[in-house]
Amino acid sequence: MRLFYRQAGSGPPVLLPNGMHLLRDFQPLAAARSLIFYDARNRGRSDPVADAARLARGIWHDVTDLDAVRRHFGIERLDAIGHSYSGWMLALYAREHPERVNRLVQIGPMQPNAASQYPPHLANVDATAASVFGQLARMAQTRPPAGPVSQEDCETLWSVLRPIFVINPADAGKIDWGRCELPNERDFMRYWLGILLPSIQSVRFSPADLARVHAPVLVVHGTLDRNSPYGAGREWAMLLPNAGLVTVPGAAHAPWVEAPDLVLGAIGAFLDGRWPEAAEKVTSIDPAGMGRLRELG
């Protein structure tokens, strides 16, 4: 099985699993390092997987593949950036292979445990979210449960999804993540709902698990994220022993689109070996429990 990758820049390598949608916007980070974006198993231009046994472990396959990519590029201890569920996967990798991690960036990560609930001010369920999820539910009722998904159906799905990832409707056009010309991506929702999401929901992170992760972790999260609640970012930053949180006020699930200078500046500083000025230590789910970070532990 082959994983497709693209490389930008030269210098210390940084892995971006399932990160092709970040390729254009993250180019400024390639000025000082080598960014390696790759399509996850059964995604994008990586090989499609027809053998059910090679998909059955869901997110655990992504953990295994990340380590394979690390070895392929001869990286002893990796730096990596993960967005959304890939950010969650990085924490699972760090739990399983703490000795192989140098520093990690989680952008809009899912909550550590699927059952976690947060108060309304830490979970943005607004009119846009209600509208989008309502449209998706109606589409699911009319779509055949089996059979190939056409490029047209994929593009229709993404026309519905785009507004949920940003707060300013004018930014929705910048969300060009569908890649509907690729068969793997046209069928992603079936793969996500049937295999990946259940495998994520079966994992439980305990404080003892995460105490093993001593590498620095930067969590970047928008306060109005509709896909992964802001409370999730705060919880990760509180549970991981050497983590800092960069809060992006008024941003949704693509905070680098809505605040590129803040987000890319913070990530660049962190990968250079220092906590960005905006990074804060989280001691409570309540936003009042914050303190400044100055040096990497």
Per-residue pLDDT of 34-93, as tens digits, reads 999 999 999 999 999 999 999 999 999 999 999 999 999 999 999 999 999 999 999 999
Mean pLDDT in residue range 112-138 = 92
Tokens at 64, concatenated: 């295994």
Measured CA to CA, the distance from residue 92 to residue 260 in angstroms comes to 27
Q: What is the pLDDT of residue 144?
A: 63
Overall average pLDDT of the 280-288 stretch: 87
The pLDDT of residue 294? 44
- Across the beta sheet with 13-17, what order do the strands follow? 5-8, 34-38, 13-17, 78-83, 101-107, 217-222, 243-248, 280-282, 290-292
User: 250 pLDDT band (50/70/90 cuts)?
Assistant: very high
Considering the domain architecture, whether residues 286 and 176 belong to the same structural domain is answered as no
In a domain, 195, yes or no: no
The pLDDT of residue 297 is above 50: no
Percent of the chain with pLDDT strictly greater than 90: 87
- At residue 290, the pLDDT reads 56
> DSSP for the chain?
----EEEESSSSEEEEET-GGGTTTTGGGGGSSEEEEEPPTTSTTSPP---GGGTTTTHHHHHHHHHHHHHHTT-SSEEEEEETHHHHHHHHHHHH-GGGEEEEEEESPPPSSTT----GGGS---HHHHHHHHHHHHHHHHS-SSSPPPHHHHHHHHHHHGGGG-SSGGGGGG-----TTSHHHHTHHHHIIIIIHHHHHT----HHHHTT--S-EEEEEETT-SSS-HHHHHHHHHHSTTEEEEEETT--S-HHHHSHHHHHHHHHHHHTTS--TT-EEE-SSSTTSEEE--S--
- Same domain assignment for residues 153 and 15: no
pLDDT of residue 141: 77
Could you tell me the pLDDT band of residue 104, with boundaries at 50, 70 and 90? very high
The total number of residues written for the chain in this structure: 297
Report the DSSP pairing between strands 101-107 and 34-38: unpaired
> Is a pLDDT exceeding 50 seen at residue 295?
no
Q: Number of structural domains, the chain? A: 2
Residues 96 and 207 in one domain: yes
Residue 235 CA to residue 239 CA, distance in Å, equals 6
Residues 269 and 136 in one domain: no
Whether 223 and 104 map to the same domain: the answer is yes
Instruction: Give me the residue label for tokens 């974006």.
Output: 37
Please write the tens of the pLDDT for every residue from 192-231.
999 999 999 999 998 898 999 999 999 999 999 999 999 9
Per-residue pLDDT at 289 exceeds 70 = no
**Residue 283 and residue 215 in one domain:** yes
Residue 114 sits in a domain of what CATH number? 3.40.50.1820
What's the burial of 31, exposed, middle or buried (CB within 10 Å: 0-12/13-18/19+)? exposed
Tokens 């999820």 -> residue: 133
205 lies in the same domain as 63: yes
Domain match, 18 and 110 both: yes
Specify the pLDDT at position 160: 95
Stated pTM of the model: 0.94
Tell me whether residue 212 is in a domain: yes
> CB within 8 A of 290, min separation 6: which ones?
245, 280, 281, 282, 283
> Are residues 98 and 152 located together in one domain of the fold?
no
Closest to 13 measured CA to CA, from 81, 64, 60: 81
Inform me whether the pLDDT recorded for 140 exceeds 70: yes
* Same domain flag for 87 and 224: yes
pLDDT at 135 over 80: yes
Do residue 163 and residue 211 come from a single domain?
Answer: no
Residue 105 lies in a domain: yes
Tell me, what's the pLDDT at 105? Answer: 98
The mean pLDDT value of the chain amounts to: 93
- CA separation for the pair 189, 85 (Å, rounded): 14
Tens-digit pLDDT profile for residues 167-198: 999 999 999 999 999 999 998 988 999 999 99
- Is residue 17 pLDDT above 70, yes or no? yes
Domain assignment present for residue 189? The answer is no
d(CA 135, CA 126): 14
Residue 193 lies in a domain: no
Give domain status of residue 190, yes or no: no
163 located within any domain: yes
DSSP characters over 50-100: --GGGTTTTHHHHHHHHHHHHHHTT-SSEEEEEETHHHHHHHHHHHH-GGG
* Residue 68: CA count within 13 A, CB half-sphere: 14
Q: What's residue 122's pLDDT?
A: 94
The pLDDT score that the predictor gives to residue 142 is 76
Residue 33 has pLDDT above 60, yes or no: yes
Domain that holds residue 29: 5-122+200-292
Give a yes or no: residue 282 inside a domain.
yes
Q: Are 137 and 90 contained in the same domain? A: no
The whole-number average pLDDT for the span 102-122 is 95
Lowest mean pLDDT among 67-81, 94-108, 118-132: 118-132
Q: What is the pLDDT of residue 261?
A: 98
